[in-house]
Amino acid sequence: MLQSIKSDGGFYIGRYEVGSFDNPVTAEDTARKAVIQKGAYPYNYVTCSQAQKLSEGLSIGDKKCNLMFGIQWDLVCRFLDENAIELGNTPEERREKIKSDSSTWGNYYNSEFWITSTAKYALFNPQESTLTDWVEIKGNYRKQSFEDRKVILTTGATKRNSVLNIFDIAGNMMEWTLEKGINGNPIKRGGNAYDDGYVAVRNSTVSTISSGIGFRAVLY
């Protein structure tokens, strides 16, 4: 990977969270075809090791895919800080929306936005820690109108939740990385729709699977 970054001048990250067009997508469904495409159900109930295996399966020709390293996530944050003018006119404004509060451009429970394209959503059931069945969205729906605002969306559901053409890196699903934290547990980044949050957040709690944890692949 380091040799590829030196020769190519960087690496690519998935425009969308890794998902599948099969529903539901759970840890038991890792044999289902993984895709990086708009309109997919984002992978959930998946372990970090399963996410890594699925990422490797997305390799194309002589280009390899991998789960993101923590340093790569940090470099993406730095890239957004320097280039994402839609987040603010100054580095300070952009940094605030990356390091402190990303609710203006990410899918968090305290976000407010219109879902503007053909998409599907599922609500979080806090009593059972599960997702409801996925429901198709037809037309414009305001997230604020949901009684329970913990709404997971299919990939690329709204341009509002993208920056530099990267969708849902802030919110929607918290994403596994290969970085290790406390007691060797893998680090999750980005926050999810169940919480407020910011894209640079690190979560090193006990390794677990959840309806709110997915992942994003890198290509090098």
Residue 75 forms part of a structural domain: yes
Residue 147 lies in a domain: no
What tens digit of pLDDT does each residue of 19-36 get? 999 876 655 555 678 999
Whether 10 has a pLDDT exceeding 90, the answer reads no
Does residue 84 fall inside a structural domain? yes
Percent of the chain past pLDDT 90, that is, above it, reads 65
How much is the average pLDDT of 104-124?
Answer: 91
Q: Is residue 102 in some structural domain?
A: yes
154 lies in a domain?
A: no
Q: What is the pLDDT of residues 47-105, one digit of tens each?
A: 999 999 999 999 988 889 999 999 999 999 999 999 999 999 999 999 999 999 999 99
Cis check for the bond before 91: say yes or no (omega within 30 of 0).
Answer: no
What integer is the mean pLDDT of 179-207? 90
pLDDT at 37 over 60: yes
181 falls within a domain? yes
Is there a domain that residue 91 lies in?
A: yes
Task: Name the domain count of the chain.
Answer: 1
Reduce the DSSP state of residue 91 to 3 states and report it: helix
Residue 148 or 105, more confident: 105
Residue 183 inside a domain? The answer is yes
Q: What is the pLDDT of residue 201?
A: 95
Q: How far apart are CA 58 and CA 66, in angstroms?
A: 8
| CA-based nearest residue to 175, from 163, 197, 190, 165 | 190
- Predicted confidence (pLDDT) per residue in 149-168, tens digit: 899 999 999 999 999 999 99
**Domain that residue 88 falls in:** 2-108+164-219
